Amino acid sequence: MTLLNRLSESNRLSESNRLSESNRPSERQPIVETFISAERPHYRRPLIQTPFFPRSQDFVETDAYIPWSGYSTLDVFSSVEQEYFAIRNSASLFDLTPMVKYRIAGPDAQDYLNRLVTRDISKLKTNRVAYTVWCNDAGHVIDDGTVFRLSETEFRLCTAERQLDWLLESAHGFAVEIAEVTADIAALALQGPTSCAILTALGCHGVELLKPFEIGHFVVENTRLMVSRTGFTGDLGYELWLPPESAVTMWDALMRVGKLRGLRPIGYRALDMARIEAGFILPNVDFVSCAHTIRLQRETTPYELGLDWAVALDKGHFNGRRPLLLEKQNGPRRRLVGLELEGNKAAHGSLVYTGKNDHDHVGEITSALWSPTCKRNIAYAMIAAPHFSSKSPFWVDIYLHRELHWERRMVQAKIVDRVFYLPERRKQTPAPSR
């Protein structure tokens, strides 16, 4: 019996105890006591725990829990810096279970997804993964995510936010079944230079032959393990998909073989640093989903996000195609670009100017980082047309809070490629496995 089963068993026992207690009103437990009890029922827990929680909590030194899609997850386990360098120099393990997952299956599943998302899903082969965005009628981005093709007629769609209403609404006229499977699948991101070596040591023979965005199926520790060469760090890395019952066993096995390969669990903050270096955008940080915007023109299009390559205008009709076709012809109103700045202070939330005057304001920084690996001061900025194609330098004002005193610095910045970090091993096949 796994620990998870044991937990639910003890829950059942305590539930029956409570029922018998409620028959004797005079001895009913006070509510406060019930609330702080470790065995309190799910409706008294605002956030739920992932199946890895029984093990991951052993590594927690900070108690820095943050909510993510209804789950309690970790911002930091012990130290952001050490966790970040695990991603870049050894290997990191990130609990991906809260990522929202949908199963989309049926004879029309491919046509359905092709109408839903901007990329051409008919070109996606079985056991391949594609990053994509999807839009509303106006061509404004609702969310981004990944499409996994599991067979001719079955897909998995991973999204940043819950989308079931939109997915079901879009299904009219298509023979598809759509179900949320977030809680049915436990997921881990194993990322870093030694990640392939760890999987090989775990018994995933041939995992080094997986190409980027390819899916492989393995049996390790008596568990079916689906491995995709995908990730959010821009490094060599894999995402592991397994039944929740096997979560603890798999965690233990990974930690065992990862011990000598520098594997450590990481929280959200280290991942966020890595994804900025890699050029990956984050919903509600680098753009606001059109499902949430309330102000006019705060919606974003794929072209504004620099995702031209992900919009297949020639694949037939899809949601938002007609306005996107117009935008392709006329050019976007603004564009998310990479910036390299002077100095070493990250320009969080700063404004971007073409000159040193207020009326020269042409954009905003959405993500910023002093990149420890690139040793560059990097940022993403949403810059208005036509300035986003300008070769001349911009000015960025950085506010520094120093012992209750604000200092403003105007630093120069220039537009560069948004992919700041791209190690060779990320694309190498066979992947380095020793």
Cα 257 to its chain centre, rounded Å, is 25
Compute the least distance from the CB of residue 317 to another protein, in Å. Answer: 5
Q: Looking at 4-12, 155-163, 167-175, 411-419, which segment touches another protein (CB under 8 A)? A: 167-175
- Give how far the C-alpha of residue 279 lies from the chain's centroid of Cα atoms, to the nearest Å: 13
Strands (E), 318-422: 334-341, 351-353, 361-371, 376-384, 394-402, 405-416
Cβ atoms of 92 and 85 within 8 Å: the answer is: no
Q: Is 290 or 346 the residue whose CB approaches another protein more closely?
A: 290
Name which of residues 23 to 82 contact another protein (CB under 8 A): none
Looking only at residues 169 through 228 of this chain, which bind another protein when binding is defined by CB under 8 A? 169-170, 172-174
Phi, psi (rounded to 5 degrees) for 247: -60, -50
CB of 306 to another protein, least distance (A): 23
Interstrand relation of 186-191 and 223-228 (parallel, antiparallel or unpaired): unpaired
Tally Cβ neighbours within 10 Å of residue 273. Answer: 21
Please, which residue, 89 or 136, has the CB nearer to another protein?
A: 136
Q: How far is the CB of 116 from another protein (least distance, A)?
A: 8
d(CA 322, CA 239): 35
Q: Using CB under 8 A, which of the segments 215-223, 228-236, 272-280, 318-326 binds another protein?
A: 318-326
Shortest distance, CB of residue 172 to another protein, whole angstroms?
5
Q: Is 293 in the site for another protein (CB under 8 A)?
A: no
Count of C-beta atoms within a 10 Å radius of residue 200: 18
Q: Which of 229, 321, 335, 426 binds another protein (CB under 8 A)?
A: 321
Q: Which of 39, 75, 111, 221 binds another protein (CB under 8 A)?
A: 111
Q: How far is the CB of 296 from another protein (least distance, A)?
A: 14
β-strand partners of 239: 189, 228
Minimum distance of another protein from residue 115's CB (angstroms): 5
Burial level of 1, CB count in 10 A (0-12/13-18/19+)?
exposed
Distance from chain centroid for Cα 355: 36
Out of 166, 353, 395, 421, point to the residue binding another protein (CB under 8 A).
166
> Total residues at the site for another protein (CB under 8 A)?
17
Query: Judged by CB under 8 A, does residue 94 bind another protein?
Result: no
Considering the complex, what minimum distance in angstroms separates the CB of residue 166 from another protein? 7
Contact in structure between 41 and 7 (CB atoms under 8 Å): no
The answer to whether residues 245 and 4 touch, using CB atoms and an 8 Å cutoff, is yes
Of 36-44, 163-171, 239-247, 405-413, the segment contacting another protein by CB under 8 A is: 163-171
Is residue 163 within the footprint of another protein (CB under 8 A)? Answer: no
By rule CB under 8 A, what string of x and - marks binding of each residue 117-146 to another protein? -------------------xx---------
The long-range contacts involving 180-183, CB below 8 angstroms and separated by at least 24 positions, are 180/100, 180/101, 180/102, 180/103, 181/101, 181/102, 181/103, 181/156, 182/69, 182/97, 182/98, 182/99, 182/100, 182/101, 183/244
CB of 173 to another protein, least distance (A): 4
Stretch that binds another protein, among 49-57, 168-176, 228-236, 342-350 (CB under 8 A): 168-176
Stretch that binds another protein, among 108-116, 217-225, 267-275, 333-341 (CB under 8 A): 108-116
Closest CB to another protein among 61 and 314? 314
3-state DSSP call for residue 275? helix
* 400: CB partners within 8 A, 6+ apart: 345, 406, 407, 408, 409
Residue ranges binding another protein (CB under 8 A): 111, 115-116, 136-137, 166, 169-170, 172-174, 316-317, 319-322
